[in-house]
Amino acid sequence: MSDFSNTKLAVLGAGPAGIATAYALSKAGKGQIALYERAKVAGGNSASFDVAGIRCDYGSHRFHPVAEPAVIDAVKSLLGDDLMLRPRHGRIRLGGRWIHFPLKLGDALTHLPPAFAASLIGDMALKKFRKEPAERTFSTVLYKGLGPTISEHFYFPYVRKLWGEEPDHLAVKLAERRVGSGSVGKILGKMLRMLPGLRGETTGKFYYPRQGFGQIGGAMLDAAVAQGTDLRLGTDITAIHRDGNRVTGMTVKDPDGTSRRIDTDLLLSTLPLTTLVRLLDPAAPEAVVNAARAIRFRGMVLIYLILETDQFTEYDAHYFPEISVPISRMSEPKNYSATTEPRGRTVLCAELPCDPDEKWWTMSDEELGRAYVGWLNDLGLPVKARVLGTETRRLSHAYPVYDLGYEQHFRTIDDWLLKLEGLLVFGRQGLFAHDNTHHAFAMSWAAADVVGPGGTVDHAAWTRHRRDFEHHTVED
């Protein structure tokens, strides 16, 4: 057995990727593992917390059954009976009508406006006559595959809202990562697989823990700590030190405000790529610094409206592609965990994509709550119950933005970081990937797998894993 006893491993960031890394490393008995997180609580964007006594997530979070079997098995064994398999029961506004989401054939046929449905069928028939785009961008590739109806009424307004960018300024990678069904035929195929008799055990369903989505990361973290991980919450990383091509350690600021330097054999970073480059001391080459300045993350304000009623609707989530309201999705947390408690109270969580320089970011809870009620009225979902209050949360790194040209910038940063010894970078924020939590787990276990005694990294194996990560497709 290899000797890891003196190997000092520091995992940066205690979101799902960092937690899963510490879990896998400690389970394998690989070295002295410390997990550093700036926030006072772990879980990152996948954490849960209470609002008015109701367990809430950062927007709609589901654990998708398409996850690798090993990931599902691990989560099942950590959560036991607390992991529920729930039917997806959402609605989307298309052509001014509510359609079940995920789409169901019978429902779509009866609820879509006839003209809209006819245009969709026309788009499918005309697909082979649409020209191959001269330039492959998000909009040209989607238009070619799906046609004008679904592009103009769903994807284009949705991405304008989500990324604050015109669809023709976004890279084709966004379509590859986020649009599972790139043709109307594939969308129909998906709908057919939802029919009774054709659907599998988990088709149209999702896993959800009784205590909120964050229970998954929480249970994994408890296991990692029980296996010997040293968890350091409220600890900010203020510098990452390198000597030439070798990362040697970091400086952290402890919760009591004192700074200390820590030597490491390997830093496993799940921090946002842009933050990592900024922390490097001495500074990264100018080209890398400039590339890091050229890429960006999209932020999000989550608005939690507390209502005096048992339930607002029976639906778990509502999707709003239209540009007339700035929120992209609304979820009702009680409907995710199938709880009826507490009685006489429910929470509606709205996802408002926005950056720190936009007006919504600095608005008070009350202002955002009033605006939210107005948007729901405009959408034909009037709030009749008494509003008991509003709470908000802000995520500065909700989504990496795939602007045209981002790939070149990412490659510049990634190529340089890959050459540094003593550092391994991954996770949704580290690899600038639109990944789900189950992808973050898979990445982390791969990372833990390539770590050798003394913090060495099996680079050939890591290259193979990185190729596999390219096939991750986001589930919504």
Ligand X SMILES: Cc1cc2nc3c(=O)[nH]c(=O)nc-3n(C[C@H](O)[C@H](O)[C@H](O)COP(=O)(O)OP(=O)(O)OC[C@H]3O[C@@H](n4cnc5c(N)ncnc54)[C@H](O)[C@@H]3O)c2cc1C
233: its two tokens: 């919450």
Of the residues 4, 26, 34, 36, which one makes contact with ligand X according to CB under 6 A = 36
Is residue 429 a contact point for ligand X (CB under 6 A)? yes
Site for ligand X contains 208 (CB under 6 A) = no
- State in angstroms the smallest separation of the CB of 8 from ligand X: 17
445 exposed, middle or buried (CB, 10 Å; 0-12, 13-18, 19+)?
buried
Cβ proximity to ligand X: between 59 and 212 the closer is 59
Whether the CB-CB separation of 170 and 138 falls below 8 Å is answered with yes
Distance in Å, CB of 271 to ligand X, minimum: 5
Amino acid at 220: M
Beta-strand runs (E) in 193-327: 205-209, 230-232, 236-243, 246-253, 259-263, 266-269, 280-281, 297-307, 317-319
Q: Among residues 92, 94, 271, 307, which is the contact residue for ligand X, using CB under 6 A? A: 271
Among 22, 23, 31, 61, binds ligand X (CB under 6 A): 61
**Which among 94-102, 157-165, 368-376, 395-403 is the span making contact with ligand X, rule CB under 6 A?**
395-403
Kindly report the number of other CB atoms within 10 A of residue 319's CB atom.
21
> Closer CB to ligand X, residue 15 or residue 369?
15
Tell me how many residues contact ligand X (CB under 6 A): 38
Closest approach, Cβ 35 to ligand X, in A, equals 10
Q: Which of 428, 445, 446, 457 binds ligand X (CB under 6 A)?
A: 428
Please state, in angstroms and rounded to a whole number, the distance separating the CA atoms of residues 52 and 268: 36
Q: How far is the CB of 369 from ligand X (least distance, A)?
A: 19
Residue placing its CB nearer to ligand X in the complex, 341 or 468:
468
Residues 6+ apart with CB under 8 A from 340: 310, 311, 334
Nearer to ligand X, 297 or 312 (CB): 297
**Which residues within the stretch 111-170 sit at the binding site for ligand X (CB under 6 A)?**
none
In the three-class reduction of DSSP (H, G, I as helix; E, B as strand; rest coil), residue 403 is classed as strand
Closer residue to ligand X in complex, CB, 62/242? 62
Which is nearer to ligand X, 4 or 360 (by Cβ)?
360
Q: Smallest gap, in angstroms, from Cβ of residue 61 to ligand X? A: 4
Cis peptide before 282 (omega within 30 of 0): yes
Beta bridge partners of 50: 55
Binding-site member from 39, 52, 262, 383 for ligand X (CB under 6 A): 39
Q: DSSP per residue over 102-145, as a string?
A: S--HHHHHHHS-HHHHHHHHHHHHTGGGSPPPSS-BHHHHHHHH
Report if residue 299 touches ligand X, rule: CB under 6 A. no
Q: Which of 419, 406, 403 has its CA nearest to residue 280? A: 419
Query: Does 21 engage in binding with ligand X (CB under 6 A)?
Result: no
Interaction of residue 269 with ligand X, rule CB under 6 A: no
Helix (H, G, I), strand (E, B) or coil at 212: coil
CB 233 within 8 A of CB 252: no
CB of 120 to ligand X, least distance (A): 26
Binding site for ligand X (CB under 6 A): 12-18, 36-39, 44-46, 58-62, 64, 236-237, 270-271, 275, 300, 351, 395, 397-398, 427-429, 435-438, 440
